[in-house]
Structure formats: C-alpha cells, structure tokens
Amino acid sequence: EDPALLAAFEARVANDEFIEPKDWMPEAYRRTLTRQISQHAHSEIVGMLPEGNWLTRAPSLKRKAILLAKIQDEGGHGLYLYCAAETLGTSREQMIEALHAGKAKYSTIFNYPTLNWADIGAIGWLVDGAAIMNQVPLQRTSYGPYARAMVRVCKEESFHQRQGYDLLLEMMKGTPEQRAMVQDAMNRWWWPSLMMFGPPDDNSPNSAQSIRWRIKRETNDELRQKFVDATVPQAELLGITVPDPDLQWNEERGHYDFGAIDWNEFYAVVRGEGPVARERMKARRAAWDEGAWVREAAAAWEARQAARRAA
Ligand code: FAQ
C-alpha cells in the first residue's frame, strides 16, 4: 500500500473526518469493517428469532403490537447494516451465504432460549440496553455509512429498551409468580448480556487497531463497565437481585466492581455451541428457503416494470 495514501487516510481519521465508500482505505480497514458490520447485521436478523418465538403468546394486544413493531425494527436494522457493509464491496448474498454456512459470527446472546414471557422484557431491558451502550459511540465511528445507520438504529433501540423495562415493571406489580419469573429471567440473561461486549481488552485481538482507526470509539471493558453502572440501579428500582455475589459499589473507582465472567462459556458460544445455536441456524435457513418465492416474485415484478419502462 502506498505510504502517502496511508498517511493521508490516517490523518483524516485522526481529524475525525468520515471515510466514505469511494475514498481510498487500507485493505485491513475494509476487511475489519466488513467483518464487524456484517456480524452486526447478522445479529439483528438472528436476533428476531428469540422474540418471534413469543409473538403468538403475547399476553395482550398492546404487548403483541409492541413486540411486532420491535421485531420489524430489527429486520430493518439488519437491512441498513447489510447495505452499509455492501458499500465496502461484499454482496449481501455472500454475507448471507456465510451466515447460513455457519462461517459468519453473530452475537452470542441470541443463542440462549426465551423460556418465559419475562424473557421478552429482559431482552429489551438488558440486551437492547447493552446494544445501545455499544452503538451510541458507533454513531461516531470513522466509516460514514455505518455511523449514519447507527443514528436511526439507536433511536429505535431506546424504544426497545424502554418497552422491555416497562414490561418488567408491570410484571413486578403482579403476583408472586410473576415476580419470580422476572427474577428468573434476570438470573439467566445477566451474564450473557455482559458477554455481548466481547472478550476482555487484554484478550481482544481486534481492539487496538480498531480503536486506532476509530472504528471502535470505546473498548469492550469500558463499555461493559458503563453498562453495569447504568443497569444496577435499574435492577434496584425494579426490586430484583443481580445474580452476582461479588457486585459492589467501589467508592474509590466510582464504579461497580463485579464478579468474574465465565469466558469458557463465552468462547464455547462463539464456537457455535450455544444452548440453541442449532435451532437458530435451522430457523434462519428455513426462513430463507421458504422466502425464495417472495424474492423471485419481487425480481420478476421488477423485470416487468423495467421492460415496460423500456417499451
Ligand atoms: N458474540 O477482538 P474482539 C443487536 C468475536 S446488538 C460473538 O473484541 P471486535 C440488537 C469477534 O467478532 C448485538 N462473537 O472483536 C438487538 C472476534 O471474532 P472475529 C450486535 C463475538 O470486533 C437487540 C473475536 O470474538 N452488536 O443485535 C462477540 O473488536 C435485541 C474477538 O473479539 C454488534 O455487533 C460476541 N458477543 O469487538 C437485536 C455491535 N464478542 O470476527 C435483537 C458491533 C466478540 O475476529 C434483539 N460490533 N466476538 O472472528 C462491535 O462493537 C464489536 O464487533 C464487538 C467485538 C464489541 C462485538
């Protein structure tokens, strides 16, 4: 790579300018962005599945309408993100093929099952909460199309987070059984939510370069700490316990100290050994196959319109 081009690129990044699709960029920058944005897109699409599981069993029309809207938003986020990734030169078909072949990663969190209705609240509160914590700084990521996609995505995620918290607040006003369901959901989702931020900084192979190129604006551990600090008071307000005996406010640091994360579990889930990883991929492939006629019909319609325009 031409050192002058590289120096000019690095100067632009250091100056907080956005890099745009037609601008020169180092191949490693293109690669890591394609990797991160496509993984992010896959997470949104696979992330529709755990919630889709509860659409037919939502306890009221209001909750069903909210859940339907949220899942549609996630589909939309996936599509924006595939578009942003495509501007780097990989086609959507290639990315989707990699997902369906089990070669592409998506967030570990979506390999856990949704066992009770409170899980839907916990996903909104904790999973969307973690997603926002990670995505707000990505509005200032150095690649323009990714940064702009994050602006709208973050607005929608904050609605997702609030609907989840509201659902749990309402359940906490209910019967002892309902309150127990909320605690049970918290017990199962807390640790996997902390894992969403990725491996610890000293074990995160991509972080140093991504921070230097301002792809990532904050590190995995910094964001994880912010999430814990923001979420613990919300758990207290709900009236539930955080399943971590080592959790403690540290006056000196001005942050919560928290217990050790089970990184063996994290890496196993990353390797595709998550509790419902097989079901998720099976459902994705089935949705793709069963939707083939829709894609074909849309293409046929488009071809006919083009022929009419030409005539
Ligand atoms: N799961 O060197 P690092 C949502 C992989 S939010 C799986 O630290 P990096 C909204 C990582 O890819 C969820 N794999 O990597 C929603 C890398 O492998 P590679 C999606 C993980 O990229 C809510 C290796 O480990 N959000 O969907 C995970 O610098 C509710 C080494 O890690 C995003 O994707 C993980 N948790 O930092 C939808 C945000 N963590 O590729 C529905 C954008 C790490 O070298 C319902 N992404 N790995 O083979 C990012 O900010 C970053 O990519 C990180 C990882 C922070 C996730």
Over residues 207-245, the pLDDT tens digits come to 999 999 999 999 999 999 999 999 999 999 999 999 999
Cα(221) to ligand 1 centroid in Å equals 13
Given this model, what pLDDT does residue 1 score?
A: 84
**Looking at the whole model, is its pTM more than 0.95?**
yes
Could you tell me if the CB of 131 is within 6 A of ligand 1?
yes
- Ligand 1 lined by 207 (C-beta under 6 Å): yes
Mutate to test the pocket of ligand 1, among 53, 77, 95, 107 (most ligand atoms within 8 A of CB): 107
**Cα 88 to ligand 1 centroid, rounded to whole Å:** 19
Mutate to test the pocket of ligand 1, among 33, 39, 71 (most ligand atoms within 8 A of CB): 39
Point out the ligand 1 atom lying closest to the alpha carbon of residue 108.
Answer: 1
Rounded mean pLDDT for each run of 10 residues along the chain, 311 residues in total: 95 97 98 98 98 96 97 97 98 96 96 98 98 98 98 95 98 98 98 98 97 98 98 98 98 98 98 96 96 97 96 87
- With 0-12 CB in 10 A as exposed, 13-18 as middle and 19+ as buried, what is 6? middle
Q: Are 143 and 230 in contact (CB under 8 A)?
A: no
- Give distance in angstroms: CA of 173 to centre of ligand 1: 35
How many Å apart are CA 164 and CA 52, to the nearest integer? 15
Ligand 1: residue whose CA is nearest its atom 8: 204
pLDDT of residue 311: 87
Nearest CA to ligand 1 atom 49: 105
CA dihedral of residues 61, 67, 68, 71 (deg, nearest 10): 180
Q: Closest residue (by CA) to atom 43 of ligand 1?
A: 40
